[in-house]
Amino acid sequence: MKRRPLTWRKLTNQFVKIFSTAAVLLAVGAMLWILYTVACYGFRSMNLSFFMTPTMPYGAVRGGIANALLGSVMITFGAAVLAVPPALCAGIFLAEYKDWKTVSNILRFSANVMMGIPSVLVGLFAYIILVLPTGNFSGFAASVALAIIMFPVIMRTTEDMLGMVPDALRESALALGMTRTRATLCIVCLSARKGLLTGILLSLSRVSGETAPLLFTALFSDGWPKNYFTGPTANMPVLITEYSTNSPFEVMHQAGWGAALVVTVLVLVINLSTRIIFREKKT
């Protein structure tokens, strides 16, 4: 065996220790740096009228973000309505009906793979199935795209959460004469409700900052989101993209930072509060 002097080994160990501390500090530092930048620049455009007035065409000075905020909320909410019920049922199938092992395995596998499919491709897909046939961009198409992203995430967390419910509960429910459906919905899902809610909220927070699919589906408009089903709908992520890359005006960059701050705060608040409130359930 190769001989290694003790000092050398100790030195290497010290070096790795320092390096790994530095790695953690670097990662946390990068996070703080990004948040600090967004907060610093974004805070300057915070005032009431910023939230109350809609966006203006290029060059106009006093535009706000009200319509984009409303549009984003509508799109995300629509996605949740579309994705949550079927995704919960899909999770129930994977967790509760174990008699079709092969089918479950294939579906679980495709859900895992779907989770890693780039969001830009989901946007492309939604464009092909909704925007091309109807001939116009719409907020609804954006909701569908986001729902496709949410679907496998909720499905897998539902399965994991239901898997944690002890079998004794299921058996007692069935022994009392409940049907399988009733036992699943009233006993198993109810006792796992915190976990299910965590999964749904976390996937919502992830999806609400998603930009790439919206470029292909919702696009952007300067008006209020009146035609969610038939026309381009204003939304925050595309607003940020448009204002910071396609505009020469300092005012618009400023508004872009403001919008970025709003989105970041929303996403982080949903994310953090979900983690904190439902923490004990996770372990």
Partner 1 sequence: MFRYDTAFKWFCLICAGLVGVLMLGFFIQLFISSFSAWREFGLPFLWSREWDPVNDKYGALPSIVGTLSTTVIALVIALPLAFSAALYLVDARPIVGEVLSHSIDLLAAIPSVIYGMWGLFVLAPLMQRYVQPFLSDTLGLGRFSLIGTEFNGFGILTAGLILSIMILPYICAIMRDVFRMTPPMLRESAYGVGCTKWETARDIVLRYGIRGILGGVFIGLGRALGETMAVLFVIGNIMEMPSSIFSGSATIASTLANHFAEAQGLQRSALFALGLVLLVMSFGIQVLAQYYLHATGAKRGEAKG
Neighbouring CB atoms inside 10 A of 171's CB total 11
Residue 277 lies near partner 1 (rule: CB under 8 A): no
Q: Which of 56, 66, 129, 197 binds partner 1 (CB under 8 A)?
A: 129
Query: Taking CB under 8 A as the rule, does residue 20 contact partner 1?
Result: yes
Least gap, CB of 282 to partner 1 (angstroms): 12
> By CB under 8 A, is residue 273 in contact with partner 1?
no
User: Nearer to partner 1 by C-beta: 81 or 89?
Assistant: 89
Is 225:67 a contact under the CB 8 Å cutoff? yes
Size of the site for partner 1 (CB under 8 A): 87
Q: Which two tokens stand for residue 47?
A: 């005032």
> Does an H or E element contain 51, and which?
helix 48-52
Which tokens in the block code for residue 125?
A: 């897909």
Residue 116 interacting with partner 1 (CB under 8 A): yes
* Chain position carrying tokens 């949740």: 80
- Considering the rule CB under 8 A, would residue 31 count as an interface residue with partner 1? yes
Q: Binding to partner 1 (CB under 8 A): which residues in 196-235?
A: 205-206, 208-212, 215-216
Tell me which residue has tokens 């535009």.
63
Near partner 1 by CB under 8 A: residue from 43, 77, 109, 249: 109
Give the C-alpha distances (Å, rounded to integers) separating 67 from 125, 145, 224, 233. 26, 20, 5, 9
Q: Which of 52, 121, 190, 277 binds partner 1 (CB under 8 A)?
A: 121
Position among 65, 75, 82, 92 found at the interface with partner 1 (CB under 8 A)? 92
- Single residue of 46, 60, 81, 113 touching partner 1 by CB under 8 A: 113
> Does 111 help bind partner 1 (rule: CB under 8 A)?
yes
CB of 52 or CB of 180, closer to partner 1: 180
Cβ atoms of 204 and 190 closer than 8 Å? no
Residue 81 binding partner 1, by CB under 8 A: no
Residue-by-residue DSSP string for 20-39:
HHHHHHHHHHHHHHHHHHHH
Paired tokens of 175: 């022994």
Task: Name the segment binding partner 1 (CB under 8 A); options: 62-70, 150-158, 164-172, 189-197.
Answer: 150-158
Cβ-based neighbour number of residue 10 at 10 Å: 10
